[in-house]
Amino acid sequence: MKIPRYQASFQLIFLFFLFLFFWKSLLSQTISVNGKADGTSGELVRIIVYADQFSLLQKTIVSTYTDENGAFSFSPEVDESTFAFIAVGLKKAEFYIKPGASYIFTIPLDTTSETGSIFDKKPLQFTYQADDEGLSDAITEFNIEYNKFLYEYADKIYRGRDKSSIVTFRDKIENQFKDVDNQYFKDYVRYTFASLEWISKMKNNVEILQEYFVDQPVLYQNIQYTEFFSEFFKSYFGYDKVFDYDDLIHAINEGDGVNEVFSLIERDSLFDNDINLRDLIVTNLIAKKYFSADILKNKVFALLEELSLVGSTNEIRNIAGNYIIKLKKLEPGRQAPNFSLKDAQGDSVDLQYFMDRHLLINFVKPDCMICLDHFQLLEELEKQFSNELQIVTIVYGEPYPEVVKYASDRDFRWPVLNLDDNILLLEAYNIRVYPSYILINPDGLIGMATAPMPDENLDLFIRRQISNFEKKH
């Protein structure tokens, strides 16, 4: 009996996806994470990784909350060893995860002050035990040795006057870690030394390129590889004059798709046969130019969209897509992150409630005196823009009732909402200092993030935002 062509094709497709499913299952392994965060109860705990280590777009792979004793536990699945963060609340710390490994974290009570900006705070402090075949211990020990070496020889290395010390140090590291049989660690060390050879001028650009990148595996998950890749290619084409800066500007702004940017890279014959490396270079090159004043942002997004469809590997296509997500976050015209928070009466209030006017969100903390001082300036803005502008204050931290009382006693009548445990809203709006201001248009799209302070001509920006919105509608 002859099977109809469409039925045979369906069977092949089914078998293909079945193979992918079982193949991925074989690669993925559960890791065990347990720990205790002293002095917490009901605190959000997450494991965060980079969606890719070029765009550095972060994603949470698992989350839970501490119990009444501060204990937490989860078991995410991972495909390969990679750099990660453990986060308690909004504080994060770095570690490395390995498929099949187990980790026990001890996180002491955070006694640091909650005043000031996030830039003043220490990262999450912790100790941990890792049953990961020695990967974490090896990386920690290597980093200690490497930092000691840099401290002692930095000046000579950066001036290119002492190459013998690098050779001696490499021999020492090879002997010290000769029993560590972990490929992630070996690659980590290899690309650390690649960076050292480059900055010390021990090897020139072409030698570095040929030894570490051309026709070499792309180590998408190894943080030392990806960091060195970004640093090296940020300067390679400038140093070696493969193309002029104006050529790149023209290719991005006026070219007909990514092929024109490809052609610039291919002026260097070293890239003739390594299409994957070329595509990865171009993806990062285009994305990194997004913030250049000479570049048309819509052209950057168009090229990244094209690369997300035609990139030579799944990884490159994903990287291009992740760059788009990251670069568009909080851009004017993007959808504002939604929220649903309680007001002083305990009623839930969400973003849509305010969408009849322009909205100015004011993020504050109770112990931030300048935050409270700005309320008087906000009242003046409210009077100035009358029915055109709605103000809402979102309070992070305790005691929330004191902020409500402060506003009520002075007859400030805009809503004061309690962030409570919805702390991820701070990450969604990239709030890093207090006070912070966000302008949102009546259609729910970002107007400006972040906006200036009220005493920094915020009224002029609001007026311009209202005018621009009215012209478009």
DSSP string, 446-473: EEEEEEPPTTTTHHHHHHHHHHHHHHH-
Mean pLDDT confidence for 241-268? 91
Mean pLDDT confidence for 100-116? 79
What are the distances in angstroms from CA 258 to CA 29, 252, 293, 431?
A: 37, 8, 20, 35
Does residue 4 surpass a pLDDT of 50?
A: no
177 DSSP assignment: T
Q: Indicate the average pLDDT of the chain.
A: 89
| Contacts with 433 (C-beta within 8 Å, 6 or more apart), sequence order | 117, 118, 119
Does residue 60 surpass a pLDDT of 90?
A: yes
Mean pLDDT confidence for 34-49? 95
Backbone angles phi, psi at 281, to 5 degrees: -60, -45
Does residue 232 surpass a pLDDT of 50?
A: yes
Q: What is the pTM of this model?
A: 0.85
What are the distances in angstroms from CA 240 to CA 114, 152, 235, 248?
A: 48, 31, 9, 15
Residues in the chain: 473
Does residue 405 surpass a pLDDT of 90?
A: yes
Give the separation between CA 324 and CA 211, rounded to whole angstroms: 31
Does residue 124 surpass a pLDDT of 60?
A: yes
The residue among 86, 87, 41, 101 whose CA lies nearest residue 66 is 41
Give the separation between CA 154 and CA 451, rounded to whole angstroms: 41
245: tokens are: 């800066």
What are the distances in angstroms from CA 372 to CA 108, 362, 403?
A: 32, 11, 8
420: tokens are: 């409570």
175: tokens are: 């002997």
The residue among 130, 128, 115, 117 whose CA lies nearest residue 37 is 128
Backbone angles phi, psi at 467, to 5 degrees: -65, -45
Q: In this structure, are strands 58-65 and 44-50 parallel, antiparallel, or unpaired? A: antiparallel
pLDDT of residue 121: 60
Mean pLDDT confidence for 405-418? 94
Does residue 18 surpass a pLDDT of 80?
A: no
The residue among 55, 53, 45 whose CA lies nearest residue 76 is 45
DSSP reduced 3-state for 443: coil
- Backbone CA torsion sign across 215, 218, 222, 228: positive
The residue among 52, 101, 46, 48 whose CA lies nearest residue 223 is 52
Each residue's pLDDT tens digit, 164-222: 889 999 999 999 999 999 999 999 999 999 999 998 889 999 999 999 999 999 999 99
Question: What percentage of the chain reaches a pLDDT higher than 90?
Answer: 77
Confidence of residue 472 (pLDDT cuts 50, 70, 90): confident
Residue 436 CA, distance from chain mean position? 20
Contact between 351 and 444 under an 8 Å Cβ cutoff? The reply is: yes
- The one-letter code for the residue type at 204 is N
Mean pLDDT confidence for 99-112? 89
Higher pLDDT, 398 or 136: 136
Residue 22: CB atoms within 10 A of its CB come to 10
Question: What percentage of the chain reaches a pLDDT higher than 70?
Answer: 91
Residue 314: CB atoms within 10 A of its CB come to 8
Does residue 21 surpass a pLDDT of 90?
A: no
- The one-letter code for the residue type at 120 is D
pLDDT of residue 112: 60
Higher pLDDT, 382 or 118: 382
The residue among 21, 39, 55, 27 whose CA lies nearest residue 288 is 55
Contact between 295 and 253 under an 8 Å Cβ cutoff? The reply is: yes
Q: Which domains are delineated in the chain?
A: 29-132 (2.60.40.1120), 139-328 (no CATH), 340-472 (3.40.30.10)
